[in-house]
A and B are shown apart, each in its own frame.
Chain A
Amino acid sequence: MSKLDLDRLIDDAGTRIIVTCGSGGVGKTTTAAALGLRAAERGRKVVVLTIDPARRLAQSLGLTELDNTPRSVADVDGSAGGRLDAMMLDMKRTFDEVVLAHATPEKAEQILANPFYVALSSSFAGTQEYMAMEKLGQLHKQAERTGEWDLIVVDTPPSRSALDFLDAPERLASLLEGRFLRLLLAPARGPFRLMSAGVNLAMSVMNKVLGAQVLTDVQTFAAAFDTLFGGFRERATKTVALLREPHTSFLVVAAPQNDALREASYFTERLREENMPLAGVVLNRVTTTHVPDLSAEKSLAAAERLEEGGKSELTAAVLRLHADKMRQVVSDHKRADRFRRGHRSIATIDVPALPDDVHDLTGLRTIGDLLTA
């Protein structure tokens, strides 16, 4: 059971990518932003890729619009030679850019106008995960080429499960290799005699159920998209490989609640199976107190004595407040310790809960201090 040393992680020039992950609502994005800022102020050239930041957090990074390009964050202390850029992911735009970059102008136009593509790229769930990985790949490539960043901190999408983004490249590859899409392409390309009776039956079902026009749209889409498939697969495979390299570190963020800890356990296991390098687990928003010796029971009893005796209502209320807090302190620590005992090989750090949301760089610096305390 060791303590997670995040300063060592961000100060290590060999650390090039940090991925924060965890279930929704545990402070993943804030952790990513705070760590990015700290690394920058300690001399790293950092870009933070956020997926869906809280409005105030976005404002604190100067992200007022979603323009899909890293922007320099103002008021970062660059005296150590570092800098901080930040961006929010725009999944439709990322998808469009991939199409525009890899298809001929004529074909790109055809794809961008296809109703199936429009639906796929803007309103269907799952695309966000593909595109987050695509963007990470792009930023990494740009960093290698221009040297403008030496550390990428990437937040993961608020998925139904924290594993979705890991599976996204895999799912994309299976889409590319899937017989179904090959099949949709077959009539556009080659002789029908290649089709088996089963395939014919399947096609006629599709026609009957979806209607001929949908099938045509999907076919046109698949045909136009065909040339892009190779590139997609190659990049998806590369991104997964990138995540396994020693210069990548995963940081699992969890709050001391049963659901979040269960998800964190699951996730650390999964990373181990996948040979992906886990730096450690941030146990976020752990309740703390400066009066640990005054137990919940003792404060409640004292509050009751005061109330019965009709003395200082204020003190009684403050004691009740402390009793609530102590209960939370005890249960948070119990859960955090249970997690540590169950994962002895994993380094952890407890980050105390703050009364207020983070809304400026000062707040992010405070979180950075707590992350490395």
Chain B
Amino acid sequence: MARLHVVTGKGGTGKTTVAAAMALALADEGQRILLVEVEGRQGLAQLFDVPPLPYVERRIAVGPAGGEVYALAVDAEAALLEYLDMYYHLGRAGKALDKVGAVDFVTTIAPGLRDVLLTGKVYEATRRKAHGRLAYDAVVLDAPPTGRIGRFLNVNHEVAGLAKVGPIRNQADAIMGMLRSDVTQVHLVTLLEEMPVQETLDAVEQLEKLDLRIGSIVVNMVRHSPLDDESLALAVKEKLPAAELTRGLRAAGITATKEMVSALAAEAHDHAVRVGLERENRDRIDALGKKVTELALLPDGIDHGALFDLAEELRS
């Protein structure tokens, strides 16, 4: 079963929220889930309304089914020094690297190497053992957006191409091995709009070419139309019966002017056009033949409680 859940999506689709809700949803009684962010935005701290997260794994929430969720904001520089120390016992040499600017170079100037370190940390946390069992039952990664996800996940393959032998090569191969195994699933968050859907389709194609497994497509912020299909069809053609609307409004105690009726009909028209586009986009998603999960739009925005509602929705 998949234990590493990589969550990506175009900016603005709510990928951080979905990643957090997924971590909460996965946290069954007695389990520990790690939620990781790698982009230095402190999105998780904002979401859970806690102070900025340090480079330490700490408990951030308990899921609806009773399991614990830990959170970690990975910092590339700290990860590099930790990595050097862990694999090469290079406490002092790490400092020397820092002094000549190599750490800076690696983590800032060559962002590709930054991705190596970030994926390396996720790999380590996913495999880590504590007290004879896995330290975490699952790891959820709030990954870079769809535009960068292929590059991000494939960076170790690129490294393997650069480093033909040596410990870096071995590490890169091991990370790539995990990412391409059934331990890992990539979930793509989208809205039913042109750009996010197009990026999702492009990302699915790209990720599958890279031999990575797609877990699900999460369609976020779904709104259900109060209009039935027949009314939608009329609204699109701007043919909603004005007489019925006028009578209906009067029956409901609203003094309906002609202007009000036509403005409400125009709102219904705009809505119907959008629903039509959303359906086209939904068809394009469905044509992928992947598992699709829907999350409803929360009209009051995202807060701590809303996150639990989303987690419940993902569990069902």
Interface residues of A (CB under 8 A from B): 23-26, 52, 54-56, 115-116, 119-120, 123-126, 158, 160-161, 171, 174-175, 178-181, 183, 198-199, 201-202, 204-206, 208-214, 217, 255, 258-260, 289-291, 294, 298, 302-303, 305-306, 309, 311-322, 324-325, 327, 331, 355-357
Interface pair B268/A305, CB less than 8 Å apart: no
Interface pair B151/A23, CB less than 8 Å apart: no
Q: Which of A24, A123, A311 is the one whose CB lies under 8 Å from B145?
A: A24
**CB neighbours of B10 from chain A (8 A):** 24-25
Q: Is B131 an interface residue (CB 8 A)?
A: no
**Which one, B61-69, B90-98, B180-188, is touching chain A?**
B90-98
**CB neighbours of B166 from chain A (8 A):** 209-214
Interface pair B101/A327, CB less than 8 Å apart: no
Give the distance to chain B from A316, nearest Cβ to Cβ, in Å: 7
Interface pair A23/B263, CB less than 8 Å apart: no
Interface pair A25/B227, CB less than 8 Å apart: no
Whether A158 touches B252, Cβ cut-off 8 Å, given contacts A126-B111, A314-B231, is no
Interface residues of B (CB under 8 A from A): 10-13, 39-41, 84, 88, 90, 92-94, 96-97, 99-102, 104-105, 108-112, 114-115, 144-145, 147-148, 151-152, 154-155, 158, 161-169, 193-196, 198, 223, 225-228, 231, 240-241, 244-245, 247-249, 251-254, 259-260, 263-271, 273-274, 277, 299, 301
Give the distance to chain B from A200, nearest Cβ to Cβ, in Å: 9
Interface pair B100/A199, CB less than 8 Å apart: yes
Whether A320 touches B226, Cβ cut-off 8 Å, given contacts A52-B147, A206-B102, is yes
Interface pair A158/B147, CB less than 8 Å apart: yes
Majority SS at the chain B contact face: helix
Give the distance to chain B from A81, nearest Cβ to Cβ, in Å: 34
Q: Can you list 16 A-B contacts (CB < 8 A)?
A: A54-B194, A116-B162, A174-B108, A178-B104, A180-B102, A180-B105, A206-B97, A213-B165, A214-B168, A302-B249, A306-B251, A315-B252, A319-B264, A322-B264, A324-B226, A357-B277
Whether A178 touches B109, Cβ cut-off 8 Å, given contacts A198-B99, A201-B93, A211-B164, is yes
Docked complex Cα distance between A205 and B112 (Å): 20
Give the distance to chain A from B278, nearest Cβ to Cβ, in Å: 11
Question: Given known contacts A158-B147, A302-B249, A355-B269, what 9 new A-B pairs fall within 8 Å (CB)?
Answer: A120-B110, A123-B112, A123-B155, A160-B39, A214-B162, A314-B245, A317-B228, A321-B225, A327-B299
**CB neighbours of B96 from chain A (8 A):** 198-199, 201-202, 205
Counting chain B CB atoms within 10 Å of each CB, which of A171, A178, A199, A305 scores highest?
A178
**CB neighbours of A298 from chain B (8 A):** 254
Docked complex Cα distance between A209 and B104 (Å): 16
Find the A residue at minimum CB distance from B102: A180
**CB neighbours of B231 from chain A (8 A):** 314, 317
Give the distance to chain A from B145, nearest Cβ to Cβ, in Å: 7
- A-B residue pairs, 3 tightest by C-beta: A315-B248, A24-B11, A25-B12
Docked complex Cα distance between A219 and B280 (Å): 52
**CB neighbours of B227 from chain A (8 A):** 314, 317-318, 321
**CB neighbours of B101 from chain A (8 A):** 178-180
Instruction: Count how many pairs of residues, one from A and one from B, have CB atoms less than 8 Å apart in the complex.
Output: 225
Q: Which of A115, A160, A202 is the one whose CB lies under 8 Å from B97?
A: A202
Whether A356 touches B163, Cβ cut-off 8 Å, given contacts A210-B168, A305-B252, is no
Docked complex Cα distance between A211 and B24 (Å): 41
Give the distance to chain B from A110, nearest Cβ to Cβ, in Å: 17
Docked complex Cα distance between A356 and B92 (Å): 59
**CB neighbours of B167 from chain A (8 A):** 208-209, 211
Q: Which of A303, A314, A316 is the one whose CB lies under 8 Å from B240?
A: A314
Docked complex Cα distance between A202 and B193 (Å): 50
Docked complex Cα distance between A294 and B261 (Å): 12
Docked complex Cα distance between A309 and B253 (Å): 12
Give the distance to chain B from A5, nearest Cβ to Cβ, in Å: 28
Interface pair B270/A355, CB less than 8 Å apart: yes
Docked complex Cα distance between A170 and B201 (Å): 35
Docked complex Cα distance between A319 and B271 (Å): 12
Counting chain B CB atoms within 10 Å of each CB, which of A125, A183, A258, A306 scores highest?
A125
Interface pair A294/B254, CB less than 8 Å apart: yes
**CB neighbours of A205 from chain B (8 A):** 84, 88, 90, 93-94, 96-97
Give the distance to chain A from B213, nearest Cβ to Cβ, in Å: 21
Interface pair B12/A26, CB less than 8 Å apart: yes
**CB neighbours of B223 from chain A (8 A):** 324
Q: Which of A201, A211, A318 is the one whose CB lies under 8 Å from B168?
A: A211
Interface pair A289/B252, CB less than 8 Å apart: no
Whether A311 touches B248, Cβ cut-off 8 Å, given contacts A198-B99, A201-B93, A209-B167, is yes
Docked complex Cα distance between A363 and B226 (Å): 28
Interface pair A318/B240, CB less than 8 Å apart: yes
**CB neighbours of A160 from chain B (8 A):** 39-41, 144-145
Give the distance to chain A from B273, nearest Cβ to Cβ, in Å: 5
**CB neighbours of B93 from chain A (8 A):** 201-202, 204-205
**CB neighbours of B271 from chain A (8 A):** 321, 355
**CB neighbours of A356 from chain B (8 A):** 273-274, 277
Find the A residue at minimum CB distance from B103: A180
Give the distance to chain A from B141, nearest Cβ to Cβ, in Å: 15
Docked complex Cα distance between A118 and B14 (Å): 33
Whether A125 touches B148, Cβ cut-off 8 Å, given contacts A319-B252, A321-B268, is yes
Interface pair A115/B111, CB less than 8 Å apart: no
Docked complex Cα distance between A319 and B198 (Å): 33
Docked complex Cα distance between A315 and B220 (Å): 28
Docked complex Cα distance between A255 and B273 (Å): 21
Docked complex Cα distance between A158 and B146 (Å): 11
Interface pair A124/B111, CB less than 8 Å apart: yes
Counting chain A CB atoms within 10 Å of each CB, which of B84, B114, B227, B241 scores highest?
B227
Interface pair B273/A355, CB less than 8 Å apart: yes
**CB neighbours of A26 from chain B (8 A):** 12
Interface pair A211/B248, CB less than 8 Å apart: no
Give the distance to chain A from B51, nearest Cβ to Cβ, in Å: 17
Docked complex Cα distance between A198 and B101 (Å): 12
Interface pair A302/B194, CB less than 8 Å apart: no
Interface pair B102/A202, CB less than 8 Å apart: yes
Interface pair A291/B267, CB less than 8 Å apart: yes
Interface pair A294/B260, CB less than 8 Å apart: yes
Docked complex Cα distance between A317 and B263 (Å): 15
